[in-house]
Copies of this chain bind each other. A is one copy, B any other.
């Protein structure tokens, strides 16, 4: 992309090397959309962000696909006081591995999501009420097909690259087989062409935690509210599967919380630990009226890892819709390219993109073998594919690591 280097840099960039201030936008498709299962919605919205500029020939776009709990905000900040940039900010920016000086980088919240894109928490225009569980079951392919409509609307004529980790990697694979002529480069990390039984099992426990929460109440619409406790439990459990034994031991080990949480209400993690996960008073963990040396205190937070997990659960329920969690985990579990196409080789038969698959040694959710299997099938199908296996100890979330190794791989693949 030699011509891209002379393009103006993103006007939003406020400091060197950073995307800087960004604003999400909405793509509103007024045309009906028919899901894989045959059901339709009258139209949909995808909330998205872009960084860099689309070139005149419309072929310098790099699409970023997010994971289960991710969203469209993958780089930059929303305000100057924003402490946390987008989730892949370390990878995306001017001069970074995904170089916004060269590429027009885009990311949309997935269909079925809850961060601005149409999903179960959106209003069904036919009823004036939230879809709730009347929202059609969504698949990875449905996500990708809505994204295609959005990219077409922006004048993107082909994808220079599509990149994602975990569920984002599933979308990458689906992109390259659904729109083979449209995708030039596909980069899938920490992903799988189909989950194993253990990954399905963990998702199922998370769904049950939500479904069995009395507040779920058959989808909790139109009444609102929702299964905050169940969602927090699901998130706490899932969060463990994104890390690794080694990384948790390094970060927390068996460290006890510095002091009883009541004596340190100001700190974030302990503050979260002392707060009930849900709004239900009866299930509150606060122990007012109970003698602090009474045995009941046994179940207060003791170890730092407990405090951390409670915080993870607590913060998740403030940003995620429980029904979206049900729909998207189902999309993950149902994704099975081999079953859908007869075999993985057949699934990839039409692929034109050059593909890079990256597995991580410590990823026990979508383990290296499953990533390798994708690369091998592409190879057997006669496609251009490379496979890299990186030795990390962060587990599934390794694809989010601040790692020069990852940056070099991505940069090299895109150039």
* A interface, CB within 8 angstroms of B: 37, 39, 133-137, 194-198, 200-202, 204-205, 207-209, 211-214, 216-219, 229, 232-233, 236-237, 240, 243-245, 248-249, 251-254, 276-278, 280, 282-283, 285, 290, 294-296, 298-299, 302-303, 305-306, 309-310, 313, 326-327, 330, 333-334, 336, 339, 364, 367
Q: How far is the CB of A93 from chain B (nearest CB, A)?
A: 33
Q: Of the candidates B136, B240, B299, which one forms a contact with A295 in the assembled complex, judged by CB atoms under 8 Å apart?
A: B136
Q: Is A211 a contact of B282 with CB atoms below 8 Å?
A: no
Q: How far is the CB of A139 from chain B (nearest CB, A)?
A: 11
Q: Given the complex, which residues of B lie within 8 Å of A195, measured CB to CB?
A: 254
Select from chain B the residue with minimum beta-carbon distance to A203.
Answer: B306
Q: Is A339 a contact of B205 with CB atoms below 8 Å?
A: no
Q: Which of A133, A236, A299 has the most CB of B within 10 A?
A: A299
Q: Is A285 a contact of B219 with CB atoms below 8 Å?
A: no
Q: Is A216 a contact of B306 with CB atoms below 8 Å?
A: no
Interface of A is mostly: helix
Assembly CA distance A248 to B198 (angstroms): 6
Q: How far is the CB of A177 from chain B (nearest CB, A)?
A: 19
Q: Is B208 a contact of A233 with CB atoms below 8 Å?
A: yes
Q: How far is the CB of A26 from chain B (nearest CB, A)?
A: 24
Assembly CA distance A232 to B209 (angstroms): 9
Assembly CA distance A277 to B290 (angstroms): 31
Q: Given the complex, which residues of B lie within 8 Å of A253, measured CB to CB?
A: 196-197
Q: Is B296 a contact of A200 with CB atoms below 8 Å?
A: no
Q: Decide yes or no: A277 and B208 within 8 Å by CB, A133-B296, A198-B245, A326-B298 being known contacts.
A: yes
Q: Which of A209, A309, A313, A367 has the most CB of B within 10 A?
A: A209
Q: Decide yes or no: A295 and B137 within 8 Å by CB, A209-B233, A305-B204, A309-B201 being known contacts.
A: yes
